[in-house]
Amino acid sequence: MKMMLKITAGILGLAGLGCIGLFLFKGGGAGKLVWEDPVVRKSIMTFGYKVYGDTTAENGRFFLSKIVFRNDGAGPVRDLSISYQIPDYVPWTTPATQTELPAGQTLVSLYYPQLPSKVTALSNRTNATLETKIRWADKAGEMKEEILRSPVIFRGVNEIEYCDLPENEVANFYDYHSTAEFAVAMVTPNDPVVKEFVAEVTKRTGGTLAGIEGGRELIGTMKAMYDYMCETGMRYTSTEGVPSKLGDIATLVQTVRMPRDVIMTNQGLCIELAILWASAMEYLGCDTDIVFIQGHAFTIVTAGQQTVAIECTAITPKSIPGSMIKMVGLPEDTPVIPFDKAVKLAEMELEMIKRNNEPITVYNVKAYQEKGMHAPELPEIDLEKIKNILAQRNEHTAASYAQNVGANRGATANNQVPPGYYRWVGANNSASVDVPATWTRMENGPVPGMIFLAQDAHTSAAVNVFNYPTLTSATEAMQTARRGVAQALGGTVKISSQQQKGNMVVYTGTTSYRKGTGSEWAGFFAPTSNGVVGLFVGTAKGYFQQNQAVIQQVISSFKIAGMNGGEEPSAPQNQ
């Protein structure tokens, strides 16, 4: 009996070992691969294409796709691989593989697309498709494959989205600006166009491009850049963002151009001007911050121990609320805001935000670019064309207008007064000039020898006519006029250039006053049979180019006996 039990036990033991071996050989049951619906970014800002491909940018939060795989089976899932493509932009990637995914285990796959720079050639919203190929082996070793397709929007290269959070997760200013940091990726200090722009600025300081150490050097360079922007007619323009909704993402999309485009068009939004300031100052070795407050942006610049905030939009005074302009000691309708007042405006904004506990976000350019906010590769550009554009802007300042003095190009048929103009004749009928009829006019101005004054209070454009009957040379007349301006108005006249042209001397220059205001002008003095007669046309500093049309008309209309082909000034025929 005992022998029979031993035999039976042996047989059962062998059977058990066989079952265990079979279990191990077959894998202990089948694996079951499942995955949740992929989390796919609804859209991509193409100028920031490098950011999406950086696994370290903001700790990897800017992935394009996230898929969570899980093995719900009793055995392992083997030979799992995942690859991606975006047809026309990214070919199939080298598969990411997992030899075995044990039962009950989870795998997270994140995709950071290495997009080509050609996406920055997309000027408008473009539809694309993300394809995800999933392959794995079943229990019998047979390969399974499935391809998932998800729509993706490529934004136009100049479009920035300020938020990428689901609408139900947006609670405040900071949520609504969750992707505003992408603006840092638009800061391009190494762009050759920015370098040429900075070179024009530094010409005014007499310095080099070696960098800024701080203190007065920083203030001087920033002032030179601000004045350059004003004098060459750069303007602030206002365009609000457009609300956009893609699935559960509600955001504001704004067209924001690169600094090179702002330079070439000579105008920009507040954020575009802030980015241009950051680009130029970073190129000069400064540390910069881009500041976002409610509905606005500006720049803070630091060099050494010196930090200066600048209200970038002050180059266009009408963009600043009149109440704020008055707070910095200027009239509400001031035609120009000097650099020091633009700095004061920014300081006031920061103070008010702190006092009222209003939301503010400050992005340090260097810090965020180190975090992965990389600038895009920019297309090649004709640098000679850029140099010519900048040179032409310089020519559109006082010097170029001076060369046209007395050209008489504004004459009308039968020498009639142009519509909307008033003709003044004086200096014993030896001189005449046409000025807009709406301008305020006055005979015999405050400076000795000033026999006519006309001015537009809204644009600051003004015309002065001088006559010194006892003088015989243009040089003597200029010296006399400079003394007169100093004594009567407290102004300091600085001559920037002078050139002999026929029997007259052409001048360009500026006049500065004790209160910090000043003007830019062009004009000339010419000897006549009635002594020396002169005409000077100017505006508040920074507004010469903006008023070039009317200034050219006034300059070309000026006539002096013996000039302009010998034609005598005609009597006024004003309506």
User: pLDDT per residue over 74-83, tens digit each?
Assistant: 999 999 999 9
What pLDDT is attached to residue 215?
62
Flag whether 472 is in a domain. yes
Query: 287 and 192 in one domain?
Result: yes
Are 434 and 339 members of one domain?
no
Which of 227-236, 523-532, 561-570 has the highest average model confidence (pLDDT)?
523-532
CATH of residue 473's domain is: 3.40.1000.10
Kindly report, residue by residue over 472-514, the tens digit of the pLDDT: 999 899 999 999 999 999 999 988 777 777 778 888 888 988 7
Where is pLDDT greater, at 429 or 568? 429
| Gap between the Cα atoms of 162 and 476, Å rounded | 62
pLDDT tens-digit map of 55-76 = 999 999 999 999 999 999 999 9
Report yes or no on 559 lying in a domain.
yes
What is the rounded distance in angstroms from the CA atom of residue 310 to the CA atom of residue 292? Answer: 13
**What DSSP element (H or E) covers 52?**
helix 49-52
Q: In this structure, are 322 and 344 located in the same domain?
A: yes
Among 102, 129, 154, the domain boundary falls at 154
Of 77, 78, 79, nearest to 32 (Cα)?
Answer: 77
Model pLDDT, residue 121:
94
Write b or e for each residue in 492-520: b if 16 or more Cβ atoms lie within 10 A of its Cβ, otherwise e.
Answer: ebeeeebeeeeebbbbbbbbeeeeebbbb
| Main-chain dihedrals φ then ψ at residue 406, nearest 5 degrees | 75, 10
- Region 220-236: mean pLDDT is 87
Residue 23: inside a domain = no
Domain containing 92 — which CATH number? 2.60.40
In sequence order, the 6+-apart residues with CB closer than 8 A to the CB of 128 are: 86, 87, 88, 89, 151, 152, 153, 154
| pLDDT 10s digits, 435-466 | 999 999 999 999 999 999 999 988 889 999 99
* pLDDT number for residue 409: 40
Contact (Cβ atoms closer than 8 angstroms) between residue 375 and residue 186? yes
227 and 330 housed in the same domain? yes
**Does 570 have pLDDT greater than 60?**
no
Q: Are residues 53 and 76 in the same domain?
A: yes
* CA 467 – CA 470 distance, rounded (Å): 9
Is the per-residue pLDDT at 571 higher than 70? Answer: no
> Are residues 406 and 383 part of one domain?
no
Instruction: Please state, rounded to an integer, the average pLDDT across all residues of the chain.
Output: 86
505 and 550 both lie in a single domain = yes
Residue 368 domain-assigned (yes or no): yes
Are 382 and 406 contained in the same domain? no
The CATH number of the domain holding residue 221 is: 3.10.620
Task: Please report which confidence band the pLDDT of residue 8 belongs to, taking 50, 70 and 90 as the band edges.
Answer: very low
Q: Mean pLDDT throughout 238-263? A: 83
pLDDT score recorded for residue 140: 85
Sorting pLDDT into bands at 50, 70 and 90, what band is 1?
very low
Confidence bin at 193 (pLDDT 50/70/90): very high
For residues 318 and 346, state if they share a domain. Answer: yes
Average pLDDT over residues 222-240: 85
- pLDDT reported for residue 116: 96
pTM tops 0.85: no
Cα separation of 168 and 163, whole Å?
Answer: 12
Count of structural domains, the chain: 3
pLDDT digits (tens, 9 = 90+) for 142-163: 999 999 999 999 999 999 999 9
Are the C-beta atoms of residues 236 and 268 closer than 8 Å to each other? yes
Q: pLDDT for 262-273, tens place per residue?
A: 999 999 999 999
- What pLDDT, on a 0 to 100 scale, did the predictor assign at position 563? 56
Please report the pLDDT score of residue 405 as a whole number.
57
Q: Tell which of 125, 154, 183 closes a domain.
A: 154
Rounded CA separation 201/208 (Å):
10
DSSP helix/strand/coil, 6: helix
Crossing angle for the helix pair 192-203 and 216-231, to the nearest 10 degrees: 100
Whether residue 258 lies inside any domain: the answer is: yes
Q: Let me know if residue 172 belongs to a domain.
A: yes
How far, in Å, CA of 244 to CA of 250, rounded? 6
Q: Domain boundary at 341, 369, 393, which? A: 393
CB 212 within 8 A of CB 189: no
Residue 5: inside a domain, yes or no?
no
pLDDT at 438: 93
Residues 499 and 462 in one domain: yes
Query: Mind listing the pLDDT tens digit for each residue in 347-367?
Result: 999 999 999 999 999 999 999
Task: Decide if pLDDT at 564 tops 50.
Answer: no
Q: Note down the domain range covering 257.
A: 159-393
Binned at pLDDT 50, 70 and 90, residue 18 comes out as very low
Tens-place pLDDT, residues 90-135: 999 999 999 999 999 999 999 999 999 999 999 999 999 999 999 9
Q: Same domain for 240 and 100?
A: no
Residue 22 has pLDDT above 60, yes or no: no
Q: Are residues 526 and 436 in the same domain?
A: yes
pLDDT score of 545:
66
178-187, 212-221, 530-539: range with lowest mean pLDDT: 212-221
Q: Is residue 573 part of a domain?
A: no
Pairwise pLDDT comparison (27 vs 84), residue with the higher score: 84
Whole-angstrom Cα distance, residue 519 to residue 516?
10
Asked if 299 and 310 count as a contact pair (C-beta separation under 8 A), the reply is yes
Candidate from 11-15, 212-216, 259-263, 566-570 with smallest mean pLDDT: 11-15
